[in-house]
Structure 1
């Protein structure tokens, strides 16, 4: 068990070492880590962005297949988020016959209503770009299911977000990962790429906010 936790904690920094140990089985390990991180809220601490970045960097020197990584991480993310959604959806249907205490009972109806309103208003953009936001990437799928947000809409926007997230981080690792400065300042590099990735969603939200503000202004004028 200790060995498993060590692999999980160091997969992003010692990936080359594990490729030497496990060969092609490393693809299975990478899939499990990304799936588990997205599928279960309690495992949100698992390395996500850094794992994709490191995988891309290793692919740049030919030790991993770039296209296979894109497919692998995309499927792991989509299926993991779907699993997370269904867990939330199941827990969002409390069994009235039992009076057993659950931590979820502490979530007020008002909080659920606010979350549901947020998803209805900003659902597609929130789901697509939440993947780039730590913690939100694992909690939003759960609460989407918990508040009974449409699964069809959720999975559609989730697939777009998963594709953007996977392509961004694996490509960034592929292009930048083997630059010596980036390699020696990995934390700063990841932080910088994360900041840049926030720009598109911020622009989209700003445009949407501006449109809604104009609509409200016109209604008040009438």
Structure 2
């Protein structure tokens, strides 16, 4: 566990990312987090924000183009594609291995509480859950798996998968890009990332809490 936590700290440092695979590493992490069970702990929101900062600050070393706007569009497209493929993989896994997903006991890689949280969210939001789950850590990993388990209509799943990926990647990466050159942001990056996660997840959690309270 200590190794995992230490690795996560490294993942939130732009310099470390650039020295260890760069934004190609981010592509891999986004794919794993958005569809593979073991990726639920990965920090997708902060990574997208940091990627925006990296793109905005890539003046001396073009990455890979000389024009920052083209760089931004290029990487946002790749990030979006990576998360879309991740969700498709999650859907396939849920459909193919529903008997594994529906086991009653915890395993070393699969916790029932995570599955149940995603399942409840899916039940309340239906197909729209696939799109909005992008903004919820842990849930975004398990939502496509649950969709495959319940055999959600694939065309509907694909639509919300693509829409959710575009909005999630676009909004957070663009925010990092816009704020990337602000000195205050660079010196307070850890607090910014914590605040980002709170801002992204709070509206959905509050709405679910209010609805649950009203039903009681």
Q: TM-score, normalised by structure 2?
A: 0.71
Distance 1:128 1:151 in 2: 14
1:32 aligns with 2:31: no
> What displacement does 1:182 show?
2.1
C-alpha change, 1:182 and 1:32, in structure 2 (3 Å) is same
User: What is residue 108 of structure 2 aligned with on the other side?
Assistant: none
Deviations 1:37-81 (A, max 9, x none): 212121222231111111100111235421111011000000001
C-alpha change, 1:103 and 1:89, in structure 2 (3 Å) is closer
> What displacement does 1:104 show?
3.2
Give the 5 Å matches for 1:65-84.
65-84=71-90
Q: Is the CA contact 1:125–1:201 (under 8 Å) kept in the aligned structure 2?
A: no
Q: Which has the larger radius of gyration?
A: 1
C-alpha change, 1:195 and 1:105, in structure 2 (3 Å) is closer
User: What is residue 179 of structure 1 aligned with on the other side?
Assistant: 182
User: What is residue 66 of structure 2 aligned with on the other side?
Assistant: none
How many residue pairs get aligned? The number is 189
> What displacement does 1:11 show?
3.2
Q: TM-score, normalised by structure 1?
A: 0.70
Give the 5 Å matches for 1:28-177.
28-62=24-58, 63=61, 64=63, 65-92=71-98, 94=99, 104-106=102-104, 115=119, 119=122, 122-177=125-180
> What displacement does 1:10 show?
1.9
Distance 1:34 1:106 in 2: 28
> What displacement does 1:198 show?
4.9
Q: Is the CA contact 2:31–2:82 (under 8 Å) kept in the aligned structure 1?
A: yes
Give the 5 Å matches for 1:190-201.
190-198=193-201
Q: CA RMSD in A?
A: 3.6
Find the residue that maps to 1:67 and give its secondary structure: helix
C-alpha change, 1:35 and 1:9, in structure 2 (3 Å) is farther
Find the residue that maps to 1:53 and give its secondary structure: helix
Find the residue that maps to 1:106 and give its secondary structure: coil
